[in-house]
Structures are given as structure tokens and as C-alpha cells.
Amino acid sequence: MRVYEVFLKPDGKEEFRHAGSIEAATDELALVLARENYARRAEGTHMWLVNRENICVSEEGFIDSNLDKPHRHNDGERVARWRKLQRNKKNNE
Amino acid sequence: MNDSVLTPPVKEYLLAFADDEHLMGQQHTEWIGVAPFLEEDMAFASIGQDELGHALMLYTLILECPSGIDTYVFNRKSEEWRSCQLVESTHRRWEEALIRHWCYDMAEDLRWELFSDSSLPELISISERALKEETYHRRHAEALVENLLMVPDSKLRLMNALEVVVPQVLGLFSPIPGEEEAISCGVVSGKYSDLLPIWRTRLEERFGVLDSGLFIQADNENRTQRHSDFDYLFGRIREVFLLDPKAVW
């Protein structure tokens, strides 16, 4: 048996989103079962199934190091404050 | 608009299809929670709900009064049903339920296609919608059967199930009350029983040539006679309704 991750794309410009997973013996069985389990109520217009074995998974801690780098975090607040100040100055002139 | 075509015999003819779809849907949904694995339990019940949807469309057309459908379906006497024994019988073995699903859905698209040029425009659109769903029902049945046939024990079970189910399928194809009238006024393009050879070809291409004894049509063909399991099934259908028949849903 294989485990597949199920992705559904709602209508329009929405992106594919993870909907869940399904266990099946073949690609075709996975497709027909995923259709009834995840898409029977018009949850999407397109469906992707990805065999879990084909997903590259990063090891534990691989992306944790970003947590303690505050200099990389910018919420844009200071720039916004400065631009607002400039705008007000210009309006007052 | 349809008064001229929707005569009592034509309604009885369409009722046979509606009742088959209704009971087939009910039978499939009975597997919710007890099918062999979770994914299939959901899928099988979902397919059953599609069949219930087809039945609803046909009942709506026949009754011309959507609000009266529940009362009509839940209060009808058993002799007024026109379902075939294939969909009335209880199959508690999973392999028999699966083989019935395969057999029924390999026969259902042939039945809908008879309406593709119907003199009733509603039937054309109902059949188009049903045929879209049936494509996936057949793929589901095929995918399961194809894989199970590769496992010796499973194959044995499926082949044994065929011996039980195939004779019942003949009843599905047996003459339908009102069929001649429906053909003569253009509601349907031909006799369903004429399509039995196509179904048999599909069957034997999938499972190999079967014992010809399975294809001997019984004399006392059903549709006016209920299978002995019908009362149990009808009881299940009415279980909630009978708690309070006057309730507004």
C-alpha cells in the first residue's frame, strides 16, 4: 500500500491546498477513492495526488535556525512611519 | 407540457428505474462504517448517494410534485414498488456487495443512454448528468475488482460472488412494465433487455467466460414481486421516518 497526499484547487485563482491523505494500492485506486473522500461536495476543480515517497522532506531542525535571526525580520513598521511623516510634511507645505 | 407523454404506463416504466436507483443507493450506503477499509467505506457510501440523487431526479419527474416525494416513497405499499430483486436482496458479504456494484454500474450507463434522444427533454438532461457520475462509478468498481483479481483468495471470493449475483442481474434486464408504451411515444429509444448481450460481453471480458447456466432467465420474472429481503430493507429506509411520520423536515 502507498500513502498519497491529496491537494485540491478551489475554483478561480486559488492555489492548490493540502486536503489530507489517502492510502491505496495503485494510482488509479488512489484517484477514485480520493475523489469520493475529498471532492464529493465540489470542494475543488482540480486534484493532485502525490505519492508520499516522492516528497523531499527536510530533516528535523533544518529550518529552525531562522527563529533567532531578528535582523531578518522586518514588519515594515519603521518604513511606513517614515513615509507617512514625509507625506504629511509634503501636504503641509 | 409533458401531460401527453407522461401517461400512467410511462410513469410506471420510469418508476422501475427510480426504484432501482433508490434501493441500490440505500444498499451501498448501508456499508458506511463497516466496509473493509476506511477509504472504501466513505467512497462506497458516496457512490450510493449519487444513486439516491438519480432516484430523486426520476421521482421528481414522475410525481411532478417535489414536496410529495417523501410521503410517496415512505408510505408506498410493497406491491407498488417496481424495483428488481438484484437491488432488493441483502448481501452481507463484501465481495457480493462489490460484485453487485460492478454488475449494476456496468449496466446502468446502458440504461441511461437509452434516454439520450428522449421525447422528454427533462430525461435528456437527467441522463446527461447521471452519465457523468457513472463514469467514475465504473472506474471505482473496475479499479477495485482489477486489483483483487490478482490475489488468489480474493479472486476465488469474487468468482463465487458472481454465481450469486449474475442470475439476479438477469432480473434487472427483464421486461419492464410500461416499456412498450414508453418506446412508442419516444420517451426511450429501445428495450433494455436488448442490451443484455453488451453487458454480458463486458462481464466476460473482465472475469472470463462464465458457466452458461448462470444466464438462464427465470420464468417468474419479478418487478411486481418483492424479494424476501425487501421488508427488512424497507424497514431500514423508514426507520427514522416512522419515529414521527408527521414531522416536517
Is B43 close to A33, i.e. CB distance below 8 A?
yes
| Amino acid B3: pLDDT | 57
The domain limits of chain B are 8-243
CB contact under 8 A, A29 and B147: yes
Beta bridge partners of A24: A2
Return the residue of A nearest to B48 by Cα. A36
Query: How far does the CA of residue B53 sit from the closest CA of chain A (Å)?
Result: 13
Which pLDDT tens digit goes with each residue over A19-65?
999 999 999 999 999 999 999 998 999 999 999 999 999 999 888 87
Question: What CATH superfamily classification does A2-92 receive?
Answer: Phenylacetic acid degradation B (3.10.20.520)
Q: Supply the ipTM of this predicted assembly.
A: 0.88
Q: Tell me: the pLDDT tens digits for B138-160?
A: 999 999 999 999 999 999 999 99
Q: Name the amino acid, one letter, at B122.
A: E
Identify the bridge partners of residue A9 per DSSP, sorted by sequence position.
A46
B244 Cβ contact partners less than 8 Å away, ≥ 6 residues apart: none
Are B75 and B158 spatial neighbours (Cβ–Cβ below 8 Å)?
no
Residue range B8-243, CATH number:
1.20.1260.10
This prediction has a pTM of 0.90
- Across the interface, whether the CB atoms of A28 and B43 are under 8 A apart is answered no
